[in-house]
A and B are shown apart, each in its own frame.
Chain A
């Protein structure tokens, strides 16, 4: 699964940049979010809130841009390949992913020895990467329900009333941050478990051969 090359076609420069923006924003959001949740040192609340609000707008714009770009930018269709096609086709399930979901689960639970045929990404990986889209937007929604300037807009106030008030919304927002934290832990672990070549291409845009 990992004994393959990592070429720039897999992650064109524009997506290396969006990935960097995501990472930086996520770190800023989680850190400032933890601080707003419970200020663990003094003198930072104003900055933490400012940081949280800036990073939230940046990450939403970045995600939206990333989705639109998927329809225009071409990326590699297979692991370790230079053959390219429109990115969205490689992001959504491909032919190779068919019938492979349970095989992938079995592989990761050590019930089979051989690696599983997959396309650009494996079945589980694609589910996770696609789920981050609604998750990020829902996270943003819960955030806007708490954000002073927008909290009383009907679209957000309705949601707050539905979950039982601002305190419940705050708790949902807090738990969703943990969903992202757990996602990031698993993502970083699985991406780099075989070797660090995936990090070299996504962060430094440095190609590696097998």
Chain B
């Protein structure tokens, strides 16, 4: 049986024009993504070979731009990632499924009825207007998610929007966007959620989670949670006014972009790009001064990189805009400024902390100069003012000479 499966898998690779060598190279790359030693590659390969049994999965879209789907679909040649992802039987995938209408909706119901499936959720959960800000087939998006989440083995929340509402959640959030975990907390669904950050999420991270599922968990959600190194991050969901604890794979969010950045040497040397199109930019200097949010963004983008590991934002010359963080738009805009602006509201609008500080410092300095002139006018400079004989309080209360001193 194992031999058969083995053969079937390599047939699949052969059909796609992928050699065994390419496949094993990819496995060691996945091992690195998972934070394992390269020696784990054969185990990963074995797990994938075994994994020809299809795992049913639903890919639901909430309030999303379909960017994460795009990210998954960015394949210019048949590659291993595609084949691994084909280990998932995606019974419902709005953007790319062949089925439509009644049939497509029935696929959701059938998958839920059969149970034992993975739920992959892309986009924000739209809670605004009592859930009416997102309707699919006349049904509220929130109801669809709740229903599908209740029966799922586990949920992968892919992309910043599914994690905490992403940019849809940004102030003033009229659609009432929240993350998957936050929504499920509210409706008391206990299915475990693993969050994969960024806008869009990295296909390699989704692959890594599928590998993890097959490699160590043996299709068992409890084992999956136990064996995967997970990191919990807390945040306060302002829309629901609730504290939420998010589970992330530790290897994906364990260190800052800054710590792994290939331009880090330029940072330490104090070599910065001050404006775009300059000589410094051509030299590939650090983008800190043009607003790079790498120092406070916890993802391993510099390690995995993007587009089949070809490049990533900072490599291609753009400062990190912090899309791997929580409430990332409010926390990081304007993207080309060192600090984010504070949302003061009203006629003040968004204000840079530096402007506020300059006003405070300027007012304090001006006040001291004015006060100094007053002190001079009052003749206090030099020996100081004549001292009172007794406290004003004591005078008023008719104390004996010397008062309560």
Chain A residues near B (Cβ < 8 Å): 1-3, 37-39, 41-46, 48-49, 95-96, 98-100, 103, 107-108, 110, 112-117, 148, 158, 161-162, 164-168, 170-171, 174-175, 178, 181-182, 185-186, 189, 193-195, 210
Known: A46-B270, A182-B364. A170 touches B339 (CB 8 A): yes
Q: Is the CB of B383 within 8 A of A99?
A: no
Q: Which of B236, B365, B382 contacts A194 (CB 8 A)?
A: B382
Q: Is B357 an interface residue (CB 8 A)?
A: yes
Q: Is the CB of A178 within 8 A of B357?
A: yes
Give CA–CA (A42, B274) in the complex, Å.
10
Q: Is the CB of A114 within 8 A of B386?
A: yes
Give CA–CA (A170, B297) in the complex, Å.
13
In the assembled complex, how far is the CB of residue B393 from the closest CB belonging to chain A, in whole angstroms? 4
Q: Which of A42, A115, A158, A165 contacts B271 (CB 8 A)?
A: A42
Q: Is the CB of A46 within 8 A of B381?
A: no
Q: Is the CB of A115 within 8 A of B388?
A: yes
Query: In the complex, which residue of chain A has the Cβ closest to the Cβ of B288?
Result: A39
Give CA–CA (A88, B162) in the complex, Å.
55
Interface residues on chain B, number (Cβ under 8 Å):
56
Which of B236, B259, B391, B404 has the most C-beta atoms of chain A within 10 angstroms of its own C-beta? B391
Q: Is B71 an interface residue (CB 8 A)?
A: no
Q: Is the CB of A99 within 8 A of B404?
A: yes
Give CA–CA (A76, B236) in the complex, Å.
51
Q: Is B129 an interface residue (CB 8 A)?
A: no
Q: Is B392 an interface residue (CB 8 A)?
A: yes
In the assembled complex, how far is the CB of residue A113 from the closest CB belonging to chain B, in whole angstroms? 6
Query: In the complex, which residue of chain B has the Cβ closest to the Cβ of A4?
Result: B384
Q: Is the CB of A194 within 8 A of B296?
A: no
What chain B residues lie within 8 Å of A168 (beta carbons)? 331
Which of A98, A103, A108, A167 has the most C-beta atoms of chain B within 10 angstroms of its own C-beta? A167
Give CA–CA (A65, B271) in the complex, Å.
38
Q: Would you list which residues of chain B between 281 and 309 have a CB under 8 Å from chain A?
A: 288-289, 293, 295-296
What chain B residues lie within 8 Å of A175 (beta carbons)? 353, 356-357
Q: Is B233 an interface residue (CB 8 A)?
A: yes
Q: Is the CB of A165 within 8 A of B331?
A: yes
Q: Is B368 an interface residue (CB 8 A)?
A: yes
What chain A residues lie within 8 Å of B386 (beta carbons)? 113-115
Q: Is B114 an interface residue (CB 8 A)?
A: no
Query: In the complex, which residue of chain A has the Cβ closest to the Cβ of B267?
Result: A45
What chain B residues lie within 8 Å of A186 (beta carbons)? 364, 368
What chain B residues lie within 8 Å of A162 (beta carbons)? 236
Q: Is the CB of B296 within 8 A of A171?
A: no
Q: Which of B268, B325, B360, B387 contacts A165 (CB 8 A)?
A: B325
What chain B residues lie within 8 Å of A166 (beta carbons)? 295-296, 325
Give CA–CA (A194, B271) in the complex, Å.
46
Q: Is B142 an interface residue (CB 8 A)?
A: no
Q: Is the CB of A165 within 8 A of B339?
A: no
Q: Would you list which residues of chain B between 373 and 394 have a CB under 8 Å from chain A?
A: 374-375, 378, 380-388, 390-394
Q: Is the CB of B364 within 8 A of A185?
A: yes
Q: Is the CB of A167 within 8 A of B293?
A: yes
What chain A residues lie within 8 Å of B296 (beta carbons)? 165-167, 170
Q: Is the CB of B380 within 8 A of A161?
A: no
Known: A95-B405, A96-B405, A175-B353. A115 touches B338 (CB 8 A): no
What chain B residues lie within 8 Å of A164 (beta carbons)? 235-236, 327, 331
What chain B residues lie within 8 Å of A2 (beta carbons)? 383-384
Give CA–CA (A187, B303) in the complex, Å.
49
Known: A115-B387, A175-B353. A39 touches B340 (CB 8 A): no
